[in-house]
Amino acid sequence: MGSEMCIRDRSDDAFKVPGKQMNYVNRKPIGVAGLITPWNTPFMLESWKLGPALATGNTVVLKPAEFTPLSASLWAGIFEEAGLPKGVFNLVNGLGEDAGDALVKHPDVPLISFTGESSTGQLIFGNAAPFLKGLSMELGGKSPAVVFADADLEAAVDATIFGVFSLNGERCTAGSRILVERSIYEEFVEKYAAQAKRVKVGYPHDPATEVGALVHPEHYDKVMSYVEIGKTEGRLVAGGGRPEGFDEGNFVAPTVFADVSPDARIFQEEIFGPVVAITPFDSDDEALALANNTKYGLAAYIWTNDLKRAHNFAQSVEAGMVWLNSNNVRDLRTPFGGVKASGLGHEGGYRSIDFYTDQQSVHITLGGAHNPTFGKN
């Protein structure tokens, strides 16, 4: 693998002035890419970074999350079987403050792609600054799902249940704030709470399981602390503790708080667990203000059958990704990333090619030199 690898580039990478000049962009691998990945969907997110980094000719150092080292260890065997030369893929396990920090501060690693918490992203940004490293960071979220009165109520309930409780709520794009138009608010809350209570909590080997245990006791304690905070900030309508029959382990019952004020901590802060806050609104303008009223801007979900409203709201909401009447399904060629505290830069499709390569402009004259002559006479 190397700079000779053929990569399908965008159409703006070659320009011709007939009879005068050819111009093209030569993409070159940057060198060593440091990839720091999270624990919530480890193998998938590692693949999102490894694929384009290697395809563009870079070598990589993968530092997986300390909670999920086993799936990352599979990559070495996969790449060996595929015939990747030794030393192109490198795996380093360790704590973020040790192994991750060393990778970020290493002078021979010019590129860092990080997925994780916003606070960690801020540290990486500061530590990488003296080296002027290339950075791509997909960080935290507190994504709104906005349900208007003209929406398909059943579809909206189903999707917003899945949107926050799938992956145990341990997902950056979770729709953990649900904003509902007041005329359907009580009906929505009633249906939502009833369905949340029916979500099946269980063990991974049970095919019926819909929500499992959280990743680690430390994270369980954090999520449960937010549940207790929520009991002082909203109306508990489902969950609020351990699910029935699970006296041990990191299990949290799907928890729903209604009537949550926008200044509440459970409205503003990323919980990263099966906990959701529901808030009413009275107008499109209020819905937009509530949707944008956090430091995050990763995803947004809009439920309405009004086409003009859907497009206008999508273009005004502060989010890197927007889903209309749908939930989390996307073409992997589209950009993935957020705005505000949810990230820096985007990856996916040609944007990954841009990130993992240096772009060198090459200009070739097809006739005489274009420049005027100085100093001859």
Point out the residues that are catalytic: 138, 172
According to the 3-state scheme, what is the secondary structure of the chain? CCCCCCCCCCHHHEEEECCCEEEEEEEEECCEEEEECCCCCHHHHHHHHHHHHHHCCCEEEEECCCCCHHHHHHHHHHHHHHCCCCCCEEECCCCHHHHHHHHHHCCCCCEEEEECCHHHHHHHHHHHHHHCCEEEEECCCCCEEEECCCCCHHHHHHHHHHHHHHHHHCCCCCCCEEEEEHHHHHHHHHHHHHHHHHCCECCCCCCCCCECCCCCHHHHHHHHHHHHHHHHHCEEEECCCCCCCCCCCCCCCCEEEECCCCCCHHHHCCCCCCEEEEEEECCHHHHHHHHCCCCCCCEEEEECCCHHHHHHHHHHCCCCEEEECCCCCCCCCCCECCCHHHEECCECCHHHHHHCEEEEEEEEECCCCCCCCCCCC
